[in-house]
Amino acid sequence: MNIAIFASGSGSNFEAMKRAADKGLLSGKISLLICDKPGALVESRAEGHGVPVVSLSPKTFSSKADYEAELLRELKKYDISFLVLAGYMRLVGPTLLDAFEGRIVNIHPSLLPSFKGLDAIGQALDFGVKVTGVTVHVVDAGMDTGPILAQESVTIEPGDTRDDVEKKIREVEHRLYPKTVEQMLQHLQGV
């Protein structure tokens, strides 16, 4: 099964997913990176692994539908059948949702349904919670509202800085996301 990873930033979850694939822990192949921010660090990470990169800014398209139609054309070129959002900072629209129904997953740095949307770690710190975490979910039309596949908690200790919490979250993400993606791939392949 060919996988495309969608990312907008540095690509630490891309790296974790690629490491898992290289170790044989994923039954799919990471065949493409889609990046919506040309020049983002994730692009050079993908190129370093020999993964093709499609870098398209939505700002260069007249509508979200046109942008996603172009993405769909690119995904078809690589025979992609599963999408992994890894720090992709856009809502997925109907064009991709219809084409990949039930085959798009996202990772979010909170225990959903708490702290949806942008800056979930900042929201958790501002609210003063003692426990936050990571959620992997199927993507639907809402923001972080799809069916939850996996969650793992992270304790916020007294004195933890934002950097401390981000580090704890990343450690969980890099372990939980590949494992959950593999479970989803197995399910989709009827294994």
Residue 12 among known ligand-binding residues = yes
Residue of 108, 137, 174, 187 with catalytic role = 108
Residue 85 among known ligand-binding residues = no
Burial class (CB in 10 A: 0-12, 13-18, 19+), 115: buried
Residue 116 among known ligand-binding residues = no
The secondary structure of 98-163 as a DSSP string is HHTTT-EEEEESS-TTSS-SS-HHHHHHHHT-SEEEEEEEE--SSSS-SPEEEEEEEE--TT--HH
Of 88, 112, 100, nearest to 36 by C-alpha is: 88
Residue 13 among known ligand-binding residues = yes
Cα–Cα distance list, 116 to 65, 67, 144, 172 (Å): 24, 24, 6, 18
Unique residue bearing structure tokens 């069916």: 147
Of 73, 68, 54, 77, nearest to 96 by C-alpha is: 68
Q: Is residue 187 among the annotated active site residues?
A: no
Residue 185 among known ligand-binding residues = no
Q: Decide: helix, strand or coil at residue 188.
A: helix
Residue 91 among known ligand-binding residues = yes
Residue 81 among known ligand-binding residues = no
Q: Which residues are catalytic?
A: 108
Q: Residue positions in the annotated binding site for (6R)-10-formyltetrahydrofolate?
A: 64, 89-92, 106
Q: Residue positions in the annotated binding site?
A: 11-13, 64, 89-92, 106
